[in-house]
Structure 1
């Protein structure tokens, strides 16, 4: 079989008189073979010198073709081992991940627009009265010192409160291992910059959060996607790929994964940590939205089972608190603490002292528990209503993952419907939703949407689904 494939590769015809460069011609031939399935995932490509000799071209031409294939996600290079076929990009997007993912997230909407793309909290569900009380208490107690931070790790009182809060979720840590950050995105970026060298292999769920992929790629990581099905992470695929590629880092969202909303079982979490020990890699656990759960979910974080100190736990507080106030924290494994702290200092020195003290007050005065309880009750009711609407109106048009929590529905369109066309037609009707293609590691299927109920009232949500139904009817 392998001999047949190599024979087909060496039969590639390149035209030296064409205006198209030879490396581009070679790139296109190999790309076509990958897309047609002739070169399967993890197939080891022939060595550069062998390929150059057989095709009677300069080795540099093969190098350039391989580099272009790698850059566009068709190949993965492993130092000292060669180049391997990556997951096949089924569609090539004309837009970058960032453009596609966040194209409709602007707040400058026309009057009457309904935003069901943003995961920022509905401002009307936040108690300004409680927040004002917290600000006044902090300023009365600390005066001008409320704006200062004496420690690069963050305010000690907040780190102490966070360590206590974490113990309730079975994560045992000390304030010395807590680094306050300006949101989860900064935490992911810090980890990438501290740990990744160009060419390092990183695993990520596929689909996943585009911002994480952006940070990892910016550090030179070669990202391998681990597929997710209706049961969550495909552990069999994860283990199979570990045997071929040895990642330095794995990025996961074990509870309420973005965009699918699925959560891992305790068995899966323990399996991943066992593999981390055996294959010697670290895990970034992005705890994106574990404060809003709709099911009897196994809600202990992956970090709660970490006896090997291999999990870097990142929690965004702004996602559940006030989106405009960028605040979060990460739990640092002892061996990585110095490098993570160093990158944080280079990034922005410290996060706002006032914001830290306000949140510390929320934790110590029980305002945080009250806030979470109200949010849970509010979104629980809205989630149930959205499930009824989806079941009644859209069974013929799409399937969806039933999320274990959070604010989003991950939808797969049926009957050949194009996600791009649904997004465009919905916008014409004043509804903003997210195209799902941006959440994939490399492939860009045109059949997924992410719909969020975070920033809309129940009344607006119902109207939004009406507009979506009209948009689908128009293009069906």
Structure 2
């Protein structure tokens, strides 16, 4: 088949036709970019904007409609993600081949009106990047795609052999018990073992201070619902864990970002915020922070606790990676320094063992645990009893520490492979921030390169990673990416980094020829 002919019209005439497709209503509650994308979508699917039609540059259409360029960019992103338009160097943004469908096929008359109405509110409820997380969690290495996006244990480090041996060596009665219900607070034997392990890490807790959760994300949700009302403020690090950003926004919170550096959160900037505002809590990942891998210094940990006590603001400590360290053991949990009960501590076995076990925990003062347990049962009556029993058996049989030791060696080796490949295949001018634990490598791109541009180019090389702007609440991170080294196979690490290097060099070579091109930034291409 030959290439579709690009459709050109005189710009004034074409802009008049574009305006006929897009009718902006600024008071109807629907985001403007949604109204723009919907108007263009209907025109494309009805055939009024035929295949090969060149759409106006973002700046031109923004000026014509009286909106920001970002608004048009977001509309084009939506259409690109749906496969309706695509950007071409030197040709602009074109309606894509195969976009036209007869109107009767497009408009599904069986869709209830209440469901169609949800689209107008979904961005304010869940955030525009929620689908990106869904795509990341569903993306698997295969079909020639190499994913450096997922921060999960590698397949060969999932403890299937240990679980098999536990099942084989356990009585039928024990296995049947593990398949039943357990208390809302969690399996008592596991809570005791967690409390004992935390005491070895300097945290003074006992069984009454432990609540078992179905993953740490559930813990964030429960704490958020427990502590927040719509419009309340939450302090987070910048950058920070994307899942937390989405959870707090979904709960209607206003997020205040505090910058980080090589020693963690800038607590010197935090004090001014606490003095002027009344945030409901401070959310921090002080050990192997996601995405940067930074460990907060002991001095800042102490200062953070002092500020929290002075201004009576609780701290939510998220410690998913604290036991995945390379070399010397890092600082003990922030909660180990907490003598006033201000730190609500979350951790999970998803990174240490396997995400499919769905077991995490909250460590907090007893009154908080009691209230959270009552609150939890309205959402989740029973955390995975089988997963709890398996983990309790792993700890009881002294198998967890051996597994963690092997995992640390494996992930440190994979990190070194990634760093060596970056040195070999990437152009100079960027910067990497090697962590001393965790699963992620934070990178600044060379020569002012934008992460979203690189994502688009890397999609052609069949490699995926995460754009840094997703971890920011302040519009930053556009020149950063996060690479996860734990999950991919060793061969895929080197090959994936090589492919990213190819995409980088192609972008840099193209820049000299198209500095003034006004091409759209496409949707995160991870599937």
> Same fold by TM-score, threshold 0.5 exceeded?
yes
Q: 1:450/1:136 Cα in 2 relative to 1: closer, same or farther (>3 Å)?
A: same
Structure 1 SS opposite 2:420: helix
Matches within 5 A, 1:193-272: 193-272=225-304
- Are 1:276 and 2:314 an aligned pair? no
Q: 1:139/1:192 Cα in 2 relative to 1: closer, same or farther (>3 Å)?
A: farther
Partner of 2:496: 464
**Separation in 1, partners of 2:159, 2:135:** 30
- Are 1:309 and 2:341 an aligned pair? yes
Partner of 2:92: none
Q: 1:204/1:219 Cα in 2 relative to 1: closer, same or farther (>3 Å)?
A: same
Structure 1 SS opposite 2:224: helix
Partner of 2:514: none
Deviations 1:176-233 (A, max 9, x none): 1110001110011110011111222210011111111122222222110011123321
Q: Which runs of 5+ in 1 are unaligned?
A: 1-18, 29-94
**Separation in 1, partners of 2:392, 2:159:** 17
**Separation in 2, partners of 1:353, 1:20:** 52
Partner of 1:375: 407
Matches within 5 A, 1:135-150: 135-150=167-182
Matches within 5 A, 1:96-135: 96-107=128-139, 110-135=142-167
Partner of 1:161: 193
Q: 1:372/1:22 Cα in 2 relative to 1: closer, same or farther (>3 Å)?
A: closer
- Are 1:450 and 2:482 an aligned pair? yes
C-alpha deviation, 1:148, in angstroms = 2.5
**Separation in 2, partners of 1:21, 1:462:** 50
Partner of 2:319: 287
Matches within 5 A, 1:333-348: 333-348=365-380
Larger Rg: 2
**Separation in 1, partners of 2:461, 2:200:** 46
**Separation in 2, partners of 1:226, 1:295:** 29
Partner of 2:452: 420
Partner of 1:437: 469
**Separation in 1, partners of 2:500, 2:429:** 11
Which shifted more, 185-194 or 124-133? 124-133
C-alpha deviation, 1:400, in angstroms = 2.1
Partner of 1:404: 436
Structure 2 SS opposite 1:164: helix
**Separation in 2, partners of 1:150, 1:299:** 34
User: How many residues matched?
Assistant: 390
Structure 1 SS opposite 2:486: coil
**Separation in 1, partners of 2:314, 2:189:** 29
Conserved in 1, the CA contact under 8 Å of 2:463 and 2:500?
yes
TM-score (norm 2): 0.70
Structure 1 SS opposite 2:377: helix
Conserved in 1, the CA contact under 8 Å of 2:421 and 2:498?
no
Conserved in 2, the CA contact under 8 Å of 1:100 and 1:435?
no
Q: Which runs of 5+ in 2 are unaligned?
A: 1-22, 33-126, 509-527
Structure 2 SS opposite 1:172: coil
Q: 1:143/1:124 Cα in 2 relative to 1: closer, same or farther (>3 Å)?
A: closer
**Separation in 2, partners of 1:22, 1:385:** 52
Q: 1:144/1:298 Cα in 2 relative to 1: closer, same or farther (>3 Å)?
A: closer
Partner of 1:187: 219
Conserved in 1, the CA contact under 8 Å of 2:210 and 2:369?
no
TM-score (norm 1): 0.77
**Separation in 1, partners of 2:388, 2:403:** 17
Partner of 2:390: 358
Structure 1 SS opposite 2:356: coil
Conserved in 1, the CA contact under 8 Å of 2:214 and 2:383?
yes
Q: 1:20/1:384 Cα in 2 relative to 1: closer, same or farther (>3 Å)?
A: closer
C-alpha deviation, 1:332, in angstroms = 2.2
Structure 2 SS opposite 1:314: strand
Conserved in 2, the CA contact under 8 Å of 1:393 and 1:469?
yes
**Separation in 2, partners of 1:102, 1:453:** 19
Q: 1:329/1:393 Cα in 2 relative to 1: closer, same or farther (>3 Å)?
A: same
Q: 1:110/1:362 Cα in 2 relative to 1: closer, same or farther (>3 Å)?
A: closer
**Separation in 2, partners of 1:108, 1:390:** 22
Structure 1 SS opposite 2:308: helix
Structure 2 SS opposite 1:415: helix
